[in-house]
């Protein structure tokens, strides 16, 4: 073969090749289009995602999300909301890029009432607001500890004590007293019932205070006698009689005393009575006020007064004038206790 023929053959081959479609170039074009499309899709996807910061449980979580609401981004990040937990903004708020979502966790408290311990989860409310929120009604006398304006805290125990007052009216027995009267008509030491004692009846009104159903206080607020009591009278034979001035004086006891005298100085007696002849001062631990007496040389008297210097078997006799008191002076006397 000559070089000329060979060249002609190469030329024909070259022409034949150049006349056919170039498949490799077409594939390259499709690949370029695909890559550009993916880049556009990624760009659109990146633009559709929202950048959000979640603050919860002491942590800050930065995230990108397609979620449409605050609740949605919490679900994606597996942040579970418990009873009374608070989300700011609220869970149904549309999510926006750059938003900060804060989860405020509730805490546990106990309300102790009516024999039960009731657990609750709550935010930092005042005690009274928590009870109202949980539908716990308080009576007008109920007691709450700690006080209603105290802010609740983790693990706090709140005690509600049910207090109420009831009024009770009932009849009560009135006891009678026993009085002893001395008489010379009976032998000494012999007794006889002169009048039987009879109990009376009294209507009483009580206020009764209950704490959690248990009575803690009872107060008498009113009383009215329905049937009065009758005192019992016992006669006691004394056999003790003394005759003075032609009169027999029956007495229960005779006591020897040292007597002094006083007159009116502008003050009433300890019993509140203005002094008069027959009013005497005694030691009331020995002779009670209003005891009837007979004092030898002085006459009938009543114990109406007392004094700091009248101690023991001492008696101070009242006289109308200073001269009479001075004349009496100090002398020993026998005092007969009549009653």
In tens, the pLDDT along 169-220 reads 999 999 999 998 877 677 777 889 999 999 999 999 999 999 999 999 999 9
Q: Where in the chain is the domain with CATH 3.10.20.30?
A: 107-161
pLDDT at position 2 is 42
pTM beyond 0.75: the answer is: no
Rounded to the nearest 5 degrees, what angle is found at the Cα of 25, between the Cα atoms of 23 and 27? 75
pLDDT at position 34 is 66
- Give mean pLDDT in consecutive 10-residue pieces for the chain, a chain of 339 residues: 42 48 56 61 59 93 93 93 92 94 94 94 91 93 95 94 96 92 73 93 96 94 95 83 79 90 90 93 94 94 93 95 95 89
* Class of domain 107-161 as given by CATH: alpha beta
pLDDT at position 293 is 95
Domain 240-337 has CATH 3.30.420.10: no
pLDDT at position 247 is 81
CATH architecture classification, 165-235: Single Sheet (2.20)
Rounded to the nearest 5 degrees, what angle is found at the Cα of 105, between the Cα atoms of 104 and 111? 130
Q: Where in the chain is the domain with CATH 2.40.40.10?
A: 240-337
């Amino acid at each position: 073969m000559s070089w000329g023929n060979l060249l002609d053959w190469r030329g024909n081959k070259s022409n034949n090749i150049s006349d056919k479609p170039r498949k490799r170039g077409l594939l390259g074009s499709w690949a370029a289009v695909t890559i550009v499309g993916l880049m556009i899709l990624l760009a659109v996807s990146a633009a559709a995602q929202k950048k959000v910061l979640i603050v919860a449980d002491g942590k800050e979580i930065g995230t990108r999300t397609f979620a449409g609401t605050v609740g949605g981004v919490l679900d994606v990040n597996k942040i579970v909301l418990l009873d009374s937990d608070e989300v700011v903004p609220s869970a149904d708020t549309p999510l926006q890029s750059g938003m900060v979502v804060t989860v405020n966790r509730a805490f546990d408290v106990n309300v102790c009432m009516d024999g039960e311990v009731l657990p609750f989860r709550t935010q930092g409310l005042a005690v009274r607001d928590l009870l109202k929120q949980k539908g716990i009604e308080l009576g007008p006398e109920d007691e709450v500890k700690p006080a209603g304006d105290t802010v609740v805290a983790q693990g706090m125990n709140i005690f509600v004590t049910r207090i109420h007052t009831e009024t009770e009216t009932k009849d009560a027995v009135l006891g009678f007293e026993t009085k002893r009267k001395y008489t010379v008509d009976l032998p000494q030491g012999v007794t006889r019932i002169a009048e039987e004692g009879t109990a009376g009846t009294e209507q009483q009104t009580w206020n009764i205070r209950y704490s959690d159903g248990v009575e803690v206080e009872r107060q008498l607020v009113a009383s009215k006698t329905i049937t009065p009591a009758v005192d019992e009278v016992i006669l006691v034979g004394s056999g003790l009689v003394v005759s003075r001035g032609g009169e027999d004086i029956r007495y229960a006891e005779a006591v020897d005393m040292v007597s002094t005298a006083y007159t009116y100085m502008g003050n009433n007696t300890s019993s509140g009575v203005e002094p008069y002849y027959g009013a005497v001062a005694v030691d009331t631990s020995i002779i009670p006020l209003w005891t009837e007496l007979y004092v030898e040389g002085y006459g009938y008297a009543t114990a109406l007064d007392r004094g700091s210097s009248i101690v023991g078997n001492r008696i101070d006799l009242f006289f109308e004038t200073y001269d009479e008191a001075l004349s009496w002076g100090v002398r020993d006397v026998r005092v007969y206790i009549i009653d």
